A and B are shown apart, each in its own frame.
Chain A
Amino acid sequence: MTSATARTPSDFGCEHSSSSPLSIHALTVAYDRRPVLWDVDLDVPAQSIVGVIGPNGAGKSTLLKACLGLIPIASGKVSVFGKPYEEQRARVGYVPQRESVDWDFPVSVLEVVMMGTFGQLGWFQMAGKLERAKAREALDAVGLADEENQQIGQLSGGQQQRVFLARALAQSAQIYLMDEPFSSVDAATEQAIIAVLRRMRSEGRTVIVVHHDLETARDYFDWVILLNTRVVAAGPTATTLTHEQLRKTYGGRLTLLDEAAQRMQKAQLG
């Protein structure tokens, strides 16, 4: 670099494939100017189930929310099938954490699932027969066809998780971001959910899942992203989910990086 401060275009990698369902480039995310995710670079392979794994506070949910534009990005960019996310909303599905909504809200199971189709509906347009059929199909896929008229608060935790999954299915997206879909569900529900995810993969879709349980990770995911305020490693499960990489992921935080993040917040920099 001759002009040291100049950020020439060649600084930005051109090796990122534009066809990747989700391509994250030099993404830094900060809360109140304190970076919680540093310089994330990822190209998620198509037609795969991808696990995002890391300790609490590693920024797993933050990564998903930043990709979806739910929290502001400090720097970097996210593209979906080679285009900015804003242009590709219809191709991205989302399953938030179960705790993020009020389950006492007065809606039925079917009504929640139909919300998945609203992305394709215009303003003032009522959901019709087509949307209803789509929602029923999604409910059927997660095994909740008999519960469609229940108020959502009447369901068990596992069923509620599956309602969110059905809503995502009704979005008919090509890539899905799921925030802890396996949290506090029983073993049978977990198997049902993973079966749905596998079916989605066989239909050519990509699913990115924030996950906690290391035991099952090897079995569930084709690809993993090990995360702890930065990407420790990302790649095919067999070669990436190694003892050595896990030790790096869970083996405490980088003190210098934490110190730098703190200083950036204090200086209101970034």
Chain B
Amino acid sequence: MNWFDYNTQVVAAATALLGAAAGLAGCLLLLRRRALMGDALGHATLPGIAAAYLVSVAVGGTGKEPWVLLAGAAAGAIAGVLGVVLVRRGARVSDETAMAIVLGAFFGLGTALLTVIQASPGGHQAGLSSFILGHAASMVASDLRAASIVALVCVALVVLLTKELRLLCFDESFARVIGRPVRWLDATVLIIVTAVVIAGLQAVGLILILSLLILPATAARLCTDRFTVMLPLAAAFGAISGVGGTLVSSFAPRLPTGPCIVLVAATLFVLALLFAPKRGLFAQAAMGRAGGYRP
């Protein structure tokens, strides 16, 4: 790949938009203390994708139409969210345990279906396994369009609902007291996250999508004490990770794009951890000497 390459530009633009959307969605997950929900959602898409392929082949399709597979992924993610809610209630376990259960069982089902599909005629070329680890280099103009739509929807929802979402994340019971439908707001957050996870499957894969959700958001959190600053900052960090990761992987041969994006995001996080004003380690050390910052 080359930097001036049209393909690289497409991939960079798509991953930048995706990173921005993931940054926004990640802020909501992080502040709602549900960071790992992204992981459960990501893993839960796999059986959905595999089932969509099988259904599509069974009714005479090729099983390769992207919208079929993405619809399957969405169905899997929604089933995963419902699974977390039902397991938490039915088995009376914590949120985190319910997520681990859904993650393990759904991904297990997905891999079992995947092995069967890959053995079937035509299955190996379906390229379903690229959803697990991602395959950004193969992104084309239609993927860019999809990423732009997702990013646009995320930005629109978050901007329109900033007031409500901040209230929900900060003080849920106060939101209920003044009559806001907390359940629907929560559902909106999960819909935003699901959209990002599905759009991100091709770029970074269903395992690494978690890092794209929480790394920019956490880095932004370290840099600012304002919700309204944190959101655009996280989006910017996400976009920088997307572009940066794509460029790094295009300069060196044999560097997979998805992991590169994650490592750029991780680098930004480490920089924020070290140098952030007030919350950064250096600032804290300096203020510790001056006897300043109170956590």
**B3–chain A nearest beta-carbon distance, Å:** 36
B window 202-247: CB within 8 A of A:
221, 224-227, 229-230
The majority secondary structure among interface residues of chain B is helix
Q: Is the CB of B294 within 8 A of A153?
A: yes
| B residues near A14, Cβ cutoff 8 Å | none
| B residues near A124, Cβ cutoff 8 Å | 160-161
Q: Is the CB of B230 within 8 A of A106?
A: yes
Q: Is the CB of B177 within 8 A of A100?
A: no
| A residues near B179, Cβ cutoff 8 Å | 86, 89, 119
Size of the A side of the interface (Cβ < 8 Å), in residues, is 33
**B164–chain A nearest beta-carbon distance, Å:** 7
- A121's nearest neighbour on chain B, judged by CB, is B163
| A residues near B170, Cβ cutoff 8 Å | 101-102, 105, 107, 112, 115
Interface residue B171 (Cβ < 8 Å from any Cβ of A): yes
- In the bound complex, what is the Cα–Cα distance between A89 and B180 (angstroms)? 11
Interface residue B166 (Cβ < 8 Å from any Cβ of A): yes
| A residues near B31, Cβ cutoff 8 Å | 105-106
- In the bound complex, what is the Cα–Cα distance between A73 and B173 (angstroms)? 16
- B278's nearest neighbour on chain A, judged by CB, is A151
| B residues near A108, Cβ cutoff 8 Å | 225-226
**B86–chain A nearest beta-carbon distance, Å:** 18
| A residues near B229, Cβ cutoff 8 Å | 106
Q: Is the CB of A123 within 8 A of B177?
A: no
- In the bound complex, what is the Cα–Cα distance between A106 and B178 (angstroms)? 21
- In the bound complex, what is the Cα–Cα distance between A14 and B268 (angstroms)? 66
Question: Range of interface residues on chain B?
Answer: 20 to 34
Q: Is the CB of B225 within 8 A of A92?
A: no
Interface residue B169 (Cβ < 8 Å from any Cβ of A): yes
Interface residue A96 (Cβ < 8 Å from any Cβ of B): yes
With beta carbons under 8 angstroms apart, the residue of B164, B226, B230 that contacts A123 is B164
Q: Is the CB of B224 within 8 A of A106?
A: yes
- In the bound complex, what is the Cα–Cα distance between A246 and B225 (angstroms)? 46
Q: Is the CB of B167 within 8 A of A115?
A: yes
| A residues near B166, Cβ cutoff 8 Å | 107, 111, 115
Q: Is the CB of A68 within 8 A of B167?
A: no
Q: Is the CB of A111 within 8 A of B227?
A: yes
- B162's nearest neighbour on chain A, judged by CB, is A126
Q: Is the CB of A115 within 8 A of B171?
A: yes
| A residues near B180, Cβ cutoff 8 Å | 118
Interface residue A236 (Cβ < 8 Å from any Cβ of B): no
| Given A105-B169, A107-B166, A154-B294, residue A118 in contact with residue B221 (CB < 8 A) | no
**A62–chain B nearest beta-carbon distance, Å:** 13
| B residues near A203, Cβ cutoff 8 Å | none
With beta carbons under 8 angstroms apart, the residue of B176, B225, B226 that contacts A70 is B176
Q: Is the CB of B221 within 8 A of A106?
A: yes
Q: Is the CB of A107 within 8 A of B177?
A: no
| Given A106-B226, A108-B225, A153-B294, residue A69 in contact with residue B167 (CB < 8 A) | no
Q: Is the CB of B177 within 8 A of A92?
A: yes
**A72–chain B nearest beta-carbon distance, Å:** 12
Interface residue A127 (Cβ < 8 Å from any Cβ of B): yes
Interface residue B295 (Cβ < 8 Å from any Cβ of A): yes
Q: Is the CB of B173 within 8 A of A96?
A: yes
- In the bound complex, what is the Cα–Cα distance between A70 and B176 (angstroms)? 7
B window 267-295: CB within 8 A of A:
294-295
| A residues near B251, Cβ cutoff 8 Å | none
Q: Is the CB of B294 within 8 A of A94?
A: no
Interface residue A104 (Cβ < 8 Å from any Cβ of B): yes
Interface residue B174 (Cβ < 8 Å from any Cβ of A): yes
**A115–chain B nearest beta-carbon distance, Å:** 6
**B95–chain A nearest beta-carbon distance, Å:** 16
- A177's nearest neighbour on chain B, judged by CB, is B177
A window 22-72: CB within 8 A of B:
65, 68-70
- A68's nearest neighbour on chain B, judged by CB, is B177
- In the bound complex, what is the Cα–Cα distance between A100 and B176 (angstroms)? 14
- In the bound complex, what is the Cα–Cα distance between A152 and B227 (angstroms)? 12
Q: Is the CB of A118 within 8 A of B176?
A: no
* Known interface pairs A86-B179, A104-B295; 18 further A-B residue pairs with C-beta atoms within 8 A, sorted by A's residue number: A65-B173, A68-B173, A68-B176, A69-B176, A70-B177, A94-B174, A101-B171, A105-B227, A106-B31, A106-B224, A106-B227, A107-B166, A108-B225, A108-B226, A115-B174, A119-B178, A125-B163, A154-B294
Residues of B within 8 A of A (CB): 31, 33, 160-161, 163-164, 166-167, 169-171, 173-174, 176-180, 221, 224-227, 229-230, 294-295
Contact sample, A vs B, 21 pairs, CB 8 Å cutoff: A68-B173, A86-B179, A89-B179, A94-B173, A96-B171, A105-B169, A105-B227, A107-B166, A107-B225, A108-B225, A108-B226, A111-B227, A115-B170, A118-B178, A121-B163, A123-B161, A124-B161, A125-B163, A151-B225, A153-B295, A154-B294
